[in-house]
Amino acid sequence: MYDKSQLMKGTLEGCILQILSETVTYGYEIVTTLTEFGFEDVKEGSIYPLLVRLEKKGMISSELRPSPLGPKRKYYSLTAEGEAYLQEFIKCWTEVQSSVNRILKKEE
């Protein structure tokens, strides 16, 4: 059986950056959004290390904000470097998607 998790690992960064390009949000909300778009297997435990890695790379920034339901939440936002990386990701993804679709559909 095909291991879908390997394919997802390469695309989650771009998807998270796209989510953050639209809104400032926190980790659980990112997981919820990903789930709504079909990433049912994504769990918080796999997203938080990715958010830490993106922050260390300077792609996103974070700040603690009060939460209406308890302790402060860490909210994430896209940086200028993250926006540039997102645009590169979109370009590359479009090219790869097109190539794979042509192969799978045997298009010319």
- What is the pTM for the complete model shown? 0.87
Token pair for 103: 């192969």
Alpha carbons 38 and 82: distance in angstroms, whole number: 23
Q: What is the SS3 string spanning 21-69? A: HHCCEEHHHHHHHHHHCCCCCCCHHHHHHHHHHHHHCCCEEEEEEEECC
Q: Which domains does the chain have, with CATH numbers?
A: 4-105 (1.10.10.10)
Mean pLDDT computed over 78-86: 97
* Selection from 32, 26, 101 nearest residue 64 by Cα: 26
| Res 107 pLDDT > 60 | no
DSSP summary character for residue 77 = E
Residue showing tokens 């990433």: 39
| Res 54 pLDDT > 70 | yes
Token pair for 32: 């919820």
pLDDT in tens, 3-47: 777 777 779 999 999 999 999 999 999 999 999 999 888 888 889
**What is the SS3 assignment for 79?**
coil
